Structure 1
């Protein structure tokens, strides 16, 4: 009988602990959601976005980070933004080693964040590049590796492509008019980032897929003009200086990093 009573008490204790753990986890996620909302409002003002971005405070449990006022990393994402002639820009930022007092994060007043390091990225999709090109439809952006560049050279491309850093080139594939017929054209293009502008300049153009035969120089020059464009992606988030441009997963990514940021600092006056 005693064993049954003890067993029942132990079972109730275990159930109680499980329920308590669930409540604590729920409270932790709830507090994190409030903090993410506060940071989102601050980031909207800081980056100058039309709407609050998505914010995720990484690390668990949140409460221990909040009590210390220090967060290991915070992810910020905003998409489908209009920047100049671009219609669907995505902005991504990651803040690392962020100091923010709990009273400010969960309060209703302004929030200030001290950020040790920040990465910022602007992503431009194929649809935006297609609109800028004007005469190309169904555009795809493909990344290239060293083997693909070597294969292109073996198929007749400029031998200098074999020595190019794959991160500085991409393949654009789209449909354009050739002799009055819509034809798929493939172009290996150089990706250049200078003074905040993206320049796309063809290095090798083929009618059909990448295995197609090289074109005469006059034909290649005419088609190359259709894949040449200069893009203004706007500013990177958080005044990050752009240092890298490459094709990743079907988009163009412009990224950079910075350190020692103070976001949402109160205005100061001088006498």
Structure 2
């Protein structure tokens, strides 16, 4: 066989292998996407999940695990879950509920349904509140949250500073009336741009913890820097009362599949409860 013929045969063989590999990859990706959609729809059957959640199945190649019904893991993020204990006049309080399952057994070929029984090696779950929701619970309508960088290090405490989250020294900034009220009296709101009575905007350092399964926020002192903050003169006789307005224990919040929260921490401009469990049996429609 001549060299040109050999080269042509090799080129054809390589092309066939490449086409087959691409086709297999596309089939794998398509099956994974279809399975993720089915699991998302199944989880949305839960009464408290208002929208199809974001679902990402782990592992490659996916076809291998789908054929066996043994999956490497999955991450789930359900947004807009309504929370209990929020006053209707201040707006609905919502959270993002998320979970990561370790390896789990499920239906073959990703044919998930709400009533499936999934046996998983582990669950890590979180319930995340943004500043708007936290403000509604605390009745401080202009509330913002930030995570300062460690002492002696510049920056705002973001990933670029090596700080993703923390439970102590988290900064809350907001406006409260003077003297501080509980925010329930419409004539003396805790924070409002059109409130013409005495008020003060301050930055306060708080510690986050879990008490009897509930998020506890405890103000420790006024925050004075170095990160961006609001400095204000608070009358000495009102300092303790102003700090107290930034302390609260929230009602017990839902967690994915009833996982008990173990810690509370900041997450950028949000606050989240985090918990984990070992092997468990769960159903998508009970998320």
Say whether the fold is shared (TM-score over 0.5). Answer: yes
Q: Name the residue aligned to 2:53.
A: 53
Q: 1:263 to 1:65 in 2, by over 3 A?
A: same
The range that moved more, 27-36 or 170-179, is 170-179
Please state if 1:95 is matched with 2:114. Answer: no
Contact 2:48 2:81 in 1 (8 A): no
* Count of residues in Structure 1 that have an aligned counterpart in Structure 2: 246
Q: Name the residue aligned to 2:128.
A: 123
Alpha-carbon distance in 1 for matches of 2:97, 2:265: 15
Q: Name the residue aligned to 2:163.
A: none
Please state if 1:194 is matched with 2:211. Answer: yes
In the TM superposition, what are the counterparts of 1:186-265 in structure 2 within 5 Å? 186-205=203-222, 217-232=236-251, 234-264=253-283
Alpha-carbon distance in 1 for matches of 2:7, 2:169: 68
Contact 1:205 1:215 in 2 (8 A): no
Secondary structure class of the residue paired with 1:15: helix
Alpha-carbon distance in 2 for matches of 1:235, 1:212: 36
Per-residue CA deviation, residues 30-61 of structure 1 (Å, 9 max, x unaligned), is 11122222322333345741232111111111
Secondary structure class of the residue paired with 1:241: coil
In the TM superposition, what are the counterparts of 1:81-160 in structure 2 within 5 Å? 81-84=81-84, 85=86, 87-102=93-108, 105-106=110-111, 110-142=115-147, 145=150, 147=151
Q: Name the residue aligned to 1:43.
A: 43
Higher helix proportion, which one?
1
1:254 deviates by 0.3
1:29 deviates by 1.0
TM-score when normalising by structure 2? 0.73
Contact 1:29 1:62 in 2 (8 A): yes
Higher strand proportion, which one?
1
1:136 deviates by 4.7
TM-score when normalising by structure 1? 0.77
Alpha-carbon distance in 1 for matches of 2:276, 2:47: 15
Per-residue CA deviation, residues 152-179 of structure 1 (Å, 9 max, x unaligned), is xxxxxxxxxxxxxx62442112344569
CA RMSD of aligned residues (A): 3.1
Contact 2:102 2:121 in 1 (8 A): yes
Structure 2: runs of 5 or more not aligned: 87-91, 153-165, 180-196
